[in-house]
Amino acid sequence: MIFGGITITEASVIGLIVASLQFATLLYLAALGETIAERAGVLNLGVEGMMAMGAMAGYVGGVASGSPWIGFLVGGLAGALLASVHAVAAVALGADQVVSGLALTILGLGLANFLGDSYTSDTRRSLFKDVDIPGLSDIPWVGETIFSASPITYVAAALGVLTWFVLSRTSIGLGLRAVGESASTADSAGHGVAAIRMTAVVIGGAMAGFSGAFLTLDTVGAWSEGITVGRGWIAVALVIFGAWRPGRVGLGALLFGFTLALERRLQPFGIEFSPILLSMLPYILTVGVLVVISYRARNQPSPTPAGLGIAYRREER
Amino acid sequence: MTEPAVELDGIWKRFPGVVANAGANLTVRPGTVHAVLGENGAGKTTLMNCLAGVYLPDEGTVKLHGREMRFSSPADALAAGVGMVHQEFRLVPTFTVAENVVLGSAPRVISRPEINRSVAELAERFGFSAEPERPVWQLSMGERQRVEILKALWRDAQVLILDEPTAVLTPQEAEDLGRVLRQMVGEGRSVLFISHKLNEVTAFCDEATVLRGGATVASSVAIADVDSAALAELMVGSSTKSTETDAQRNTEMGDVVLAVDNVSVTDSRGLTAVDGVSFEVRAGEILGIAGVAGNGQRQLTDAIAGLETCRTGSVALMGDDLTSATPRDRFRAGLAYVPEDRLGVGLAPKLPIAENAVMRHYPKMRRGPILLWDRAKEFSAELVSRFEVKVGRVEDRLASLSGGNLQRLLLGRELSSEPSVVVASQPTRGLDVHGVAAIQRLLVEQRDQGTGVLMVSEDLDELLVLADRILVMSEGRVAGKFDPAVASRAEIGAAMAGVS
């Protein structure tokens, strides 16, 4: 089909949807982790660095073990280890969260490049295979896209549901949210602020690591320097876009994933549009959401966790 | 004889430069409301914090029902049955009432309808009305206090400590609180009621322990056997004090110096905080604004000082309309402002004393863009000695000053430009007896010199003594105007509660 110079073929549309889902999975894993950390009141700007570490370690782990699943877990572990630096510095020692997080990004990128150097032109592959869901994957269009996606896409969706449930329906989640809103309140109610915050940061790091591992073990299929190209920052923006809620962050991941896919896949449609401008779209959307939030905040509390970025020390006069 | 519910013995608690508790004792019988009385700074709150696990005492023992305890955190104390409602509430504003109540001892998996139901049942048992699904940010201060009490009851606290609970309540709400406390002690629980207001203590409490200078000067006095004057004497020491500053009323009132006409202000949440308020302040009078905290007083004074925008209405100083003038222009026009929030709005705690002292006056101490630092120090030194601020050096950080000295410095800074109007918001709150007297004297002096003074205070007794006229604010509106010479506390109290 051709509309005014735009060519639409089944293959290009399916390609676009598949790519959107891949990007969405990548962003969602990292953003979900950051959501958990920020709901506990800790801003971690090290997502990009943790993602790079996960990408490198995930690939190496996958190649070494021959199993993408083991690689995926190794990637998560690497992200968690790096995050524990932030947990110690920003939570236990009360360092400035912005400074510590930025340092984490620089550290993670550098460390990943250094440790992964010899794997840069490695051609061994240990990749995830897409899962066809029996019955559903035969449905035209939908089956070829949503129901035969990477197993990690389903893992990400399941983690999203789990995160929602834990945050809103369990005592652990209630405590975590209280820590993020008002640490002194949570403390006097008996929730260990430092323990909850450090755990949340480490879990967030593991999920950024998963995200990076997904990149090298699935989307790209190789490790190279600078492979994360700023996706970690989009994940940070996505948390704000999704108003710190797992569900909305998920919807945002689909939207942002779609814009990232468009950036790569406009050409097959015969559309001439600068991909550089398109790559700005997630940030523009996020700024738009920030404006809406601040406007709405006149009538009700902002969705931003009230204690976000504020170190907690039990008062001693 | 039954074991006391609480027994504090020889409690010492020192902080850098301050001894807050010097061997204080306290014994509370189960099933009683026990007052902890004392002036500001007498160590009441610190002593209770030692009982509630906020502080670990340096020396002394804490016993509950005869068993010695050692709490390392408030959560520890709560688990042992001691709950404390602090003056600053520990609530999560975005959580619902029920979520706040169960926080810290919630079921592993939470079903909202279920916790809502159990919290409502608990509230009903103690004669509260509670709406468990409402978010706390929508509640009034009185309602928030009830959530705090419910938190303690949810953990089945046997000992409940209330720190100055009536400060945020209307007289009606205070009565309701009294009823709830009765219900609680009727079940054998004990309540510790921190206060410095004698009328409340006689109304609500069975026994009182009086602290002075961190030590116990009278323990477990039966309220029924003692009169208020005796308690007052115990609180302040040998000579009976009275807040009576020789406030000879000035009959000569001058022209209108401050005219506030139909001012409305919208607060940060988009709600109407001040709703069509009008009044005039004349030269040589103190106009007192009474009311329970949070009824628009802060927004009103901020609007007069130019820190808030008036949605409607006008503010005029000496006949000049200043409704849209900047705070600096208003200051130049002769308006002095002592904000409620001394540290933060009034003064910058991390800057040196001298920089704080010249903050309003530095335009007069410069050559071109260069600040003449010698002149600034000289000015500060003068200000400090004239207003009797006790400081080490004017280069020291402001945060090293005590509350009373901070307020003297702030008031001094504002007064040294010889203003025609002084707006003072809660100028004596939290100060000790001497500090209160000094600040009151300065304000009375200003009035006698022909300055118009607008004084906002939560302490009705203070206003009854000092003010020439009293205006009551309730829910952002003027709820009544009174002549302190003839008005009764009951009348004014009714207006504060919004009862017309």
Q: Coil, helix or strand for A109?
A: helix
Asked if A238 and A252 count as a contact pair (C-beta separation under 8 A), the reply is yes
Asked if A90 and A97 count as a contact pair (C-beta separation under 8 A), the reply is yes
**Per residue in A1-18, pLDDT tens?**
555 566 777 778 888 899
Q: Match 């408030």 to its residue by tokens.
A: B74
Q: Coil, helix or strand for B189?
A: coil
H/E element, B375: helix B373-386
| Distance separating alpha carbons of residues B375 and B380, to the nearest angstrom | 9
pTM for the complete prediction? Answer: 0.77
| CB–CB contact B108 A171 (8 Å) | yes
Asked if B161 and B83 count as a contact pair (C-beta separation under 8 A), the reply is yes
| Distance separating alpha carbons of residues B500 and B486, to the nearest angstrom | 18
| CB–CB contact B99 A181 (8 Å) | no
Q: What is the pLDDT of residue B443?
A: 94
| CB–CB contact B110 A174 (8 Å) | yes
Sheet of strand B6-15, all strands in order from the earlier edge strand to the far edge: B18-28, B6-15, B59-64, B67-69
Q: What is the pLDDT of residue B500?
A: 55
| CB–CB contact B15 A306 (8 Å) | no
**Is the pLDDT confidence value at B167 over 50?**
yes
DSSP string, B30-98: TT-EEEEE--TTSSHHHHHHHHTTSS--SEEEEEETTEEE--SSHHHHHHTTEEEE-SS----TTSBHH
Region B38-52 average pLDDT: 86
Which chain B residues are closer than 8 Å to A182 by Cβ? 90-93
Region A109-134 average pLDDT: 88
| CB–CB contact A298 B268 (8 Å) | yes
| CB–CB contact A191 B104 (8 Å) | yes
What value does the mean pLDDT of chain B take?
Answer: 88
Q: Coil, helix or strand for B312?
A: strand
Longest dimension (CA), chain A: 74
**Is the pLDDT confidence value at B161 over 90?**
yes
* pLDDT band of A147, cuts 50, 70, 90: confident
CA R_g for chain B: 24
**Closest chain A residue to B94, measured at CA:** A301
Q: Which of B27, B38, B19, B22 is nearest to B212 (CA)?
A: B38
Domain ranges of chain A: 8-119+131-303
| CB–CB contact B268 A185 (8 Å) | no
A197 part of contact set with chain B, CB < 8 Å: no
Q: What is the pLDDT of residue A278?
A: 80
* pLDDT band of A212, cuts 50, 70, 90: very high
**Is the pLDDT confidence value at B470 over 60?**
yes
Q: Which of B42, B38, B431 is nearest to B214 (CA)?
A: B42
Q: What is the pLDDT of residue B269?
A: 63
Domains, chain B, ordered by start: 6-239 (3.40.50.300), 245-334+419-496 (3.40.50.300)
- Those residues with Cβ within 8 angstroms of residue A151's Cβ, 6 or more apart along the chain or in another chain: A128, A129, A130, A131
DSSP bridge partners of B478: B473
Asked if B316 and B259 count as a contact pair (C-beta separation under 8 A), the reply is yes
**Is the pLDDT confidence value at B232 over 80?**
no
Region A113-119 average pLDDT: 93
A170 part of contact set with chain B, CB < 8 Å: yes
Q: What is the pLDDT of residue A317?
A: 42
Q: Which of A169, A170, A181 sits opposite B92 (nearest CB)?
A: A181
**Per residue in B261-278, pLDDT tens?**
999 998 776 778 899 999
Region B3-20 average pLDDT: 86
| Distance separating alpha carbons of residues A184 and A163, to the nearest angstrom | 24
Q: How far is CA A255 from CA A2, A149, A188, B356, in A?
A: 25, 17, 40, 51
Which chain A residues are closer than 8 Å to B75 by Cβ? 187-191
Which chain B residues are closer than 8 Å to A188 by Cβ? 73-75, 78, 90
Q: Match 């969260």 to its residue by tokens.
A: A97
Helix, strand, coil % in chain B, rounded to nearest 5 = 35, 25, 40
| Distance separating alpha carbons of residues A160 and A245, to the nearest angstrom | 10
**Phi, then psi, of B350 in degrees rounded to 5:** -90, -10
Strands B59-64 vs B67-69: parallel, antiparallel or unpaired: antiparallel
Give the residue with greater pLDDT, B403 vs B487. Answer: B487
E strand segments, chain A: 2-3, 6-7
Q: What is the pLDDT of residue B241?
A: 38
The CATH fold assigned to A8-119+131-303 is ABC transporter involved in vitamin B12 uptake, BtuC (1.10.3470)
Which chain B residues are closer than 8 Å to A180 by Cβ? none
* pLDDT band of B368, cuts 50, 70, 90: confident
How is residue B359 written in tokens? 């903050």
Q: What is the pLDDT of residue B239?
A: 41
A208 part of contact set with chain B, CB < 8 Å: no
**Percent of chain B predicted with pLDDT > 90:** 55
Q: What is the pLDDT of residue B242?
A: 43
What value does the mean pLDDT of chain A take?
Answer: 90
| CB–CB contact A178 B103 (8 Å) | yes
**Is the pLDDT confidence value at B157 over 80?**
yes
**Is the pLDDT confidence value at B144 over 50?**
yes
| CB–CB contact B108 A184 (8 Å) | no
| Distance separating alpha carbons of residues A123 and B401, to the nearest angstrom | 69
Q: Which of A27, A34, A57, A50 is nearest to A108 (CA)?
A: A50
Interface test with B, best of A182, A299, A302, A312 (most B CBs within 10 A): A182
Interface test with B, best of A188, A244, A300, A313 (most B CBs within 10 A): A188
DSSP bridge partners of B28: B6
How far is the alpha carbon of B111 from chain A, nearest alpha carbon, in Å? Answer: 7
Which chain A residues are closer than 8 Å to B105 by Cβ? 189-190
Asked if B306 and B327 count as a contact pair (C-beta separation under 8 A), the reply is yes
Which chain A residues are closer than 8 Å to B78 by Cβ? 188-190
First to last CA, chain A: 74
| CB–CB contact B73 A301 (8 Å) | no
How far is the alpha carbon of B434 from chain A, nearest alpha carbon, in Å? Answer: 23
Q: Coil, helix or strand for B380?
A: helix
Q: What is the pLDDT of residue B243?
A: 46
Residues in B lying within 8 Å of A, measured between beta carbons: 15, 54-55, 73-75, 78-79, 90-95, 99, 102-111, 135, 137, 151, 268-270
Q: How far is CA B304 from CA B253, B265, B315, B408, in A?
A: 21, 11, 6, 22
Q: Which amino acid is at B53?
A: G
Asked if A172 and A162 count as a contact pair (C-beta separation under 8 A), the reply is no
* pLDDT band of B322, cuts 50, 70, 90: very high
Q: What is the pLDDT of residue A282?
A: 83
How far is the alpha carbon of A112 from chain B, nearest alpha carbon, in Å? Answer: 39
Q: Cα B85 from chain centroid?
A: 15
| Distance separating alpha carbons of residues B336 and B355, to the nearest angstrom | 18
CA R_g for chain A: 20
Per-residue DSSP letter, B456: E
**Phi, then psi, of A65 in degrees rounded to 5:** -95, -20
Asked if B315 and B322 count as a contact pair (C-beta separation under 8 A), the reply is yes
Give the residue with greater pLDDT, B271 vs B318. Answer: B318
Q: Which of A282, A36, A314, A177 is nearest to B49 (CA)?
A: A314
Region A23-31 average pLDDT: 97
| Distance separating alpha carbons of residues B7 and B159, to the nearest angstrom | 12
Q: What are the b/e assignments for B215-233, b being 16+ CB within 10 Å? A: bbbbbbbebeeeeeeebbb
**Is the pLDDT confidence value at B248 over 60?**
no
Q: Coil, helix or strand for A77?
A: helix
**Is the pLDDT confidence value at B327 over 80?**
yes
Which chain A residues are closer than 8 Å to B152 by Cβ? none
Q: What is the pLDDT of residue A316?
A: 52
| CB–CB contact A189 B110 (8 Å) | no
**Closest chain B residue to A298, measured at CA:** B269
**Is the pLDDT confidence value at B252 over 80?**
no
